[in-house]
Amino acid sequence: MSDAPILVTGGAGFIGSTLVRHLLANSGTDRVVVVDALTYAGHLASLASVRSSPRFFFEQGDVANAAQMEAIFRRHRPRAVFHLAAESHVDRSIDGPAAFVHTNVVGTFTMLEQAQRHWSALPHDGEARQTFRFVHVSTDEVFGALESSGSFVAGSAYRPTSPYAASKAASDHFARAWKHTYGLPVVVTTCSNNYGPYQFPEKLIPLAIRKAHAGDAIPVYGRGNQVRDWLHVDDHVAALVAAWRCGEPGATYLFGGRTERTNLQVVETICDLLDERLPGDAPRRALIAHVADRPGHDFRYANDATAAEQALGWRPLIDFTSGLRATVEWFLSHESWCEEVQGATYQGQRLGLGVAA
């Protein structure tokens, strides 16, 4: 069983593909099986650098399809599961919440069921059973909004306010229930806002980069005073690996970058970086356009990662200033990737107005 692969659901998405590239670059001999439905946000283009590796395997499938997932578990018999497959954009959850229930709730339930069957069939006194882990990847949005001070901790109450956050909260509860009731060695992780290469261009940072580069209006919701803590995706996947290797089954680990910025501050910094890199006739801050706010927009999120840092020996290494500069450079030099993944389905249009539209 020691040569059994690591299974990564959602492995063709933003965080998932970063994790897959990290595992194949740093684990030496581990084989990695990617399971992804290849919806609008999952693309094999994000795995182009590793697809030729003899240690890489791809299975197209829907995590909510029990028959597909059962076949994948039987075929590969993984020694660990990183469950990242999820619908993740709040705006899209406002416009179409059913997809979020399907993938995030039913999909997580299905994965837990199949992982439980697989784990239960392993020899009770064997190393494979003792070391198996199901790493369930969640979001700080399950805790709802913070005021101007304070941070989330592992014991914070759940108060999800968007359909996305509610679906992820439900999936967290299922994951913990499978640990408590069935003994499945589940580790839950919760992260703050991620940024970095390969992020689908509907999210704030890549959308602002592309709009600013094109000279288009850059939408900022409301006054732009919503506060988020930013964590580089490379730091996040290092934390996920630490949670897999060192995490205690049943524990919850919160990851954050200790980098709080308002949305307006983030967009202004992106404009300044582009002005520095590609000077134009006028400062790009003039492109910022304040638009109608998202319905139910949470004011502030912030994770206290102290406990995770102490327990796992992990801490974020990439400061926001250099990380954002490198992210801007990446998107400027990967126009073809952006065009390929956006296709005809998304061209920077406003999402998330729901019934207000």
Return mean pLDDT, the chain: 95
Q: Contact 235/195 with Cβ under 8 angstroms?
A: no
Q: Which one is catalytic: 164, 221, 253, 301?
A: 164
pLDDT 10s digits, 253-310 = 999 999 999 999 999 999 999 999 999 999 999 999 999 998 989 999 999 999 999 9
pLDDT at 356: 42
So what's the pLDDT on residue 2? 61
Q: Residue 303: name the closest of 248, 230, 237, 204 by CA.
A: 230
Q: Is 346 a catalytic residue?
A: no
Residue 3 clears pLDDT 90, i.e. is over it? no
140 labelled catalytic: yes
- In angstroms, rounded to a whole number, what is the distance separating the alpha carbons of residues 266 and 237? 22
C-alpha–C-alpha distance, residues 137 and 239, integer Å: 11
Question: What's residue 141's pLDDT?
Answer: 97
- 55-91 pLDDT tens trace: 999 999 999 999 999 999 999 999 999 999 999 989 9
Other CB atoms within 10 Å distance of the CB of residue 338: 17
Active site (annotated) includes residue 234: no
Token pair belonging to 143: 């805790």
Q: What is the DSSP letter of 101?
A: I
Using CA atoms, how far residue 126 sits from 76, 130, 183, 246, 247, in Å, is 18, 7, 16, 19, 19
Q: Report the pLDDT averaged over residues 23-49.
A: 94
Q: Which of 87, 141, 172, 202 is catalytic?
A: 141
From 62, 140, 234, 298, active-site residue: 140
Quick: pLDDT tens for 197-248. Answer: 999 999 999 999 999 999 999 999 999 999 999 999 999 999 999 999 999 9
pLDDT band at 347 (very low <50, low <70, confident <90, very high): confident
Q: Which domains does the chain have, with CATH numbers?
A: 6-199+229-261+300-319 (3.40.50.720)
